[in-house]
Amino acid sequence: MERKLQVGIIGATGMIGQKFITLLKDHPWFEVKLVAASKKSAGVTYEEAVKGRWKMKEDIPASVRKLIVKDGESVEEICMEVDFVFCAISLNKEETKLLEEAYAKHETPVISNNSANRYVEDVPMLIPEINYNHIDIINEQRKRLRTKRGFIAVKPNCSIQSYVPAITPLLNQGVESILACTYQAISGAGKKLSDYPQLIDNVIPYISGEEEKSEKEPLKIWGSIKNNKIVNASNPIITTQCVRVPVEDGHLAAVYFNLKNKISKEDILRAWEEYKIPDVVASLPSTPRKFLRYLKEEDRPQTRLDRDYENGMGITIGRLRDDSLFDYKFISVSHNTVRGAAGGGILSAELLYKTGYINKK
């Protein structure tokens, strides 16, 4: 049997690292070969390292339990063992940027969940169903890093994944402005409800850095490659409010928008229904069969009922209505740790493998 690509998870003991490990169990192309975390978790088996802090519903996969956790900063040693890495770490931006570049410079592709490299002009920030063609910028990045194999690709912030997919099919009608209020799950903070007593019977109207990311990142996703860099789209104008709510998983967005060429509600529903995923993405193992679905019931989507749509990789939209200030409004839901983090990272890696940017060493 042909060997699968050997994968390292950097930040394997955290919320998103655990999600990667769970989602990669039985993956047809990738196999978790190595787990790494901070120095304080290194040197013991993975099951010992996550004892008392395993947050997934599923058990730790047997193939990972006994792996010895490495220090994520032992870059050279790790790069000798794996074909590429997923990185999801809680380290400051400057150190994260340097660490990710160190992996890339050791000829090991990095698929990152961290924000440190998101705004670098030659680093693709991918939602494959929307901007898969941004992967072409990797050739320019390799020139800058002087690598043959190594590069960094990132995934956008989880907050934007509920509304950017829903707005994308409408961009050709000239979306001029968007107001998005997001109601975000606790797992987005790497926690469970039981670890977060401040959220019981409460909502918290502040998530550090989230509104800035939510307003900036869609413009890169909707940007294009010009003069060997990704140039952000210049519109629409986006304003957001991001609120933490007592929900375990799933981000819900209340979205308002104006169109230059106002179209009917039926046309918007048709644009969502007919949104076509590029062929190269449609055939990947983690691609949802139907990326966008619209529910007609007046009390949907709901976070708990709809976050797992398409194994957590699809987006559910509902309540499309006229608005008194904007042209229209709607509600949408996505799974923050799957679509918005580990699942989105795995889908990007599948795309990069299929298109030859990631291969076996």
Indicate whether 67 belongs to the interface with ligand NAP (CB under 6 A). no
Q: Which amino acid makes up residue 247?
A: V
Q: How far is the CB of 158 from ligand NAP (least distance, A)?
A: 4
**Edge-to-edge strand order for the sheet containing 110-112?**
70-71, 30-37, 5-10, 84-87, 110-112, 152-154
| 274 CB-near residues (< 8 Å, 6+ apart) | 169
> Which of 129, 336, 343, 357 is in the footprint of ligand NAP by CB under 6 A?
336
Centre a 10 Å sphere on the Cβ of residue 109 and count the other Cβ atoms it contains: 24
The one-character DSSP state at 158 is G
> Which of 31, 47, 73, 121 is in the footprint of ligand NAP by CB under 6 A?
73
DSSP run (H or E) holding 130: helix 128-131
Round to whole Å and give the CA distance between 27 and 47: 21
Nearer residue to ligand NAP within complex by CB, 52 or 205: 52
Round to whole Å and give the CA distance between 292 and 304: 17
Site string for ligand NAP, 139-168 (x = CB under 6 A): -------------------x----------
Cβ(87)–Cβ(110) below 8 Å: yes
> Which of 22, 108, 113, 303 is in the footprint of ligand NAP by CB under 6 A?
113
Of residues 177-196, which lie at the interface with ligand NAP (CB under 6 A)?
187-188, 190
Size of the chain, expressed as the number of residues it contains: 361
Indicate whether 40 belongs to the interface with ligand NAP (CB under 6 A). yes
The residues annotated with a catalytic role in the active site are 158, 251
Cβ(49)–Cβ(13) below 8 Å: yes
Q: How far is the CB of 219 from ligand NAP (least distance, A)?
A: 18
Nearer residue to ligand NAP within complex by CB, 89 or 178: 89
DSSP run (H or E) holding 213: helix 210-221
Part in contact with ligand NAP (CB under 6 A); list of ranges 35-43, 103-111, 121-129, 300-308: 35-43
Q: How far is the CB of 316 from ligand NAP (least distance, A)?
A: 18
> Which of 5, 7, 16, 160 is in the footprint of ligand NAP by CB under 6 A?
16
The candidate with the shortest Cα–Cα distance to 112, out of 84, 80, 131, is 84
Indicate whether 35 belongs to the interface with ligand NAP (CB under 6 A). no
Which parts of this chain interact with ligand NAP (CB under 6 A)?
A: 10-17, 36-38, 40-41, 72-73, 88-91, 113-114, 158, 187-188, 190, 336-337, 340-341
